[in-house]
Amino acid sequence: MATSFIRSLLIEDNVVHARLILSLLEKAEAVSFDVVHVDTLAAGLARLERGDIDVVLLDLVLPDSQELDTFMRVRADVPDIPVVILTGLEDINLAGRAVEAGAQAYLVKGQINSAQLERSIRYAIERTRAQSGEWDSPMFRLAQQQFLKAAQLMNLDDNIRQRLLFPQRAQVVTFPFRRDKHEQVETVFGYRVQHVLTMGPTKGGIRYHQDVNLGEVSALAMWMSWKCALMQLPYGGAKGGVRVDPTGFSRKELQRLTRRFTSEIIGMIGPDKDIPAPDMGTDENVMAWIMDTYSQQVGYSVPEVVTGKPVVLGGSLGRKEATGRGVVYAIEDAAKHLGMKLSQCTAVIQGFGNVGSHVARFLAEDGVKIIAVSDATTGIYNPHGLSVGSLLEYVREHRFLEGFPDGEAISNAELLELPCDILAPAALQNQITLDNAPRIKCKLLAEGANGPTSLEADEILNDRGIFILPDVLANAGGVTVSYFEWVQGTQNYMWSHEEINGRLHKIMTDAFHSTLQRSQRDHLDMRTAALIEGIDRITQAKLLRGIFP
Ligand code: GLU
């Protein structure tokens, strides 16, 4: 299944050539192309002005513009959008000059097949991103803005402010990856970022997603630092990722990708250095392959190099459902504080992956009526309540929620605006923004995902009196049980399920109350209070350790 869309603008006046390119794009396998075709430069520039184009496929000889000037005019209007030149054999020198002037690639019409065309376009986009946009991600801007707001309110030492604004270490790798049925080898980008090395080893997940870049991974690493410090875990924050869309990958492909990525970052990770875990697009199998690859390198088994492993390989009981369970512990504490009776509450959950499905399950066990859930394919709404058991069974069989019979299909955007008591965004970042925040109708927002709410939306929700359980608090159950898994691994302990859940419950409740107390004492919203709790702890540690030399 192709899940990535590339919005392309084809500027080509020759009808035969245009038809050829369109038919090649239609046959693409790894991505889908949404193509707008125009036959003059003026029409192309007018379309570009409207935005939402990822790549331009440009013929240089058009009725209203000739040769290099055609490229220069496109470049001047949209300097950040990659341009791939489409050329005939006779114009190859001209195409070469356009590449020298900044076009990402040229392709000779009549000599390319669908796979080559698709790949050149994908790589042109990759290169443009790598050259200009590695740090420039909306998520990194959000993480930095949140930090700066908290720093201002807590009057943070300016030296520490500068020190925490960027990660301490970041490794960017590119590596080859062979698909099962394609002859070509893909080159993909991978990252491991360590934000704070002051508190002990660094800790954080690895995500496989098509939007991963240095900025996104850095934002996630920063949030891990605040999260671990808030939960008083002896870790700094880290995160890793590979920029791929893994949804269509076979297990073999996932395994090859994981093993090669592990060997690329092997110098950075280790049980005393930096301990990966699952995140979006990765799971316990991926952790098993990382552990195996690492162990093969050092010559003995090192289960503690990752957490979130299968239990039989030294994983912890309760780790898989820990993030969802933690979200629900936090909701229980918040409900008590707000005087909400859970057995009379309704909930809407965005995302039905590992986090969302467990939130649904545990909330239902508390008597909450789950009125809507969603995944990447659809939302499902039933005002009389959905059976979580049936949803889980349906997804086990069909992989996605699409077609679930017992409710009305709605979009993810509609789902977020349903009237409910508890809204739990547990899928993607940047879901609640300036646009929809005024229409969010819950009493309690519990952030299972990392970074689902923009800074502007935060203010609107706070003004409207919606109680927010911020991501660094609400979804910290995952890394907390990861910590238990690591402790059990390094000490050769085995804790029971009850022990795990009991300890998790206490840590979540303590963190909820320390955040609430700070928020009430200093008149802060819950997110700022949680961030300040974390930042304050890291600041104390940094000042105590001093600077070497
Ligand atoms: N990826 C999870 C998070 O964002 C868990 C990290 C971990 O267990 O180290 O919190």
Question: In sequence order, what DSSP letters do the residues of 455-514 get, joined into one string?
Answer: HHHHHHHHHTT-EEE-HHHHTTHHHHHHHHHHHHHHHT----HHHHHHHHHHHHHHHHHH
Amino acid 119: pLDDT = 86
- Confidence grade of residue 2 (pLDDT, cut at 50, 70, 90): very low
pLDDT tens, position by position, 152-191: 999 999 899 989 999 999 999 999 999 998 777 889 999 9
pLDDT tens, position by position, 20-33: 999 999 998 878 99
Least confident of 111-120, 123-132, 281-290: 123-132
Report the atom number in ligand 1 closest to the C-alpha of 223.
4
Domains in the chain, number: 3
- Confidence grade of residue 127 (pLDDT, cut at 50, 70, 90): confident
Amino acid 109: pLDDT = 87
Same domain, 412 and 295: no
Mean pLDDT within 383-398: 98
pLDDT tens, position by position, 208-262: 999 999 999 999 999 999 999 999 999 999 999 999 999 889 999 999 999 999 9
Same domain, 228 and 377: no
Q: CATH number, domain at 382?
A: 3.40.50.720
Question: Looking at 477, 510, 538, which one is the last position of a domain?
Answer: 477
Same domain, 297 and 340: no
What's the first-to-final CA gap in the chain, in angstroms? Answer: 54
Q: Which of 109, 203, 227, 239 is catalytic?
A: 239
DSSP 8-state code for residue 270:
B
Q: Which domain holds residue 366?
A: 322-477
CB atoms within 10 A of CB 499: 15
Q: Is 478 close to ligand 1, i.e. is its CB under 6 Å away?
A: yes
Amino acid 304: pLDDT = 98
With the most atoms of ligand 1 within 8 angstroms of its CB, the residue from 217, 223, 224 to mutate is 224
Can 239 be counted among the known catalytic residues? Answer: yes
Q: Residue 284 corresponds to which amino acid?
A: E
Using CA positions, which residue lies closest to atom 8 of ligand 1? 479
Amino acid 515: pLDDT = 98
Mean pLDDT within 456-475: 97
Mean pLDDT within 82-100: 89
Amino acid 97: pLDDT = 87
539, pLDDT greater than 60:
yes
Mean pLDDT within 449-455: 96
Same domain, 180 and 153: no
Q: Is 429 close to ligand 1, i.e. is its CB under 6 Å away?
A: no
Q: Is 355 close to ligand 1, i.e. is its CB under 6 Å away?
A: no
Judging by beta carbons within 10 Å of its beta carbon (0-12, 13-18, 19+), is residue 135 exposed, middle or buried?
Answer: middle
Question: Looking at 267, 283, 313, which one is the last position of a domain?
Answer: 313
Look over the chain and give the mean of its residue pLDDT values, rounded to a whole number. 95
Report the atom number in ligand 1 closest to the C-alpha of 220.
4
DSSP string, 291-349: HHHHHHHHTS--GGG-SS--GGGTPPTTSTTHHHHHHHHHHHHHHHHHT--GGG-EEEE
Question: Looking at 136, 164, 192, which one is the last position of a domain?
Answer: 164
Same domain, 306 and 188: yes
* Angle in degrees, CA 512, 241, 163, rounded to 5: 60
pLDDT tens, position by position, 470-511: 999 999 999 999 999 999 999 999 999 999 999 999 999 999
Q: Is 450 close to ligand 1, i.e. is its CB under 6 Å away?
A: yes
Amino acid 1: pLDDT = 37
Cα(473) to centroid of ligand 1, in Å? 12
Report the atom number in ligand 1 closest to the C-alpha of 482.
8
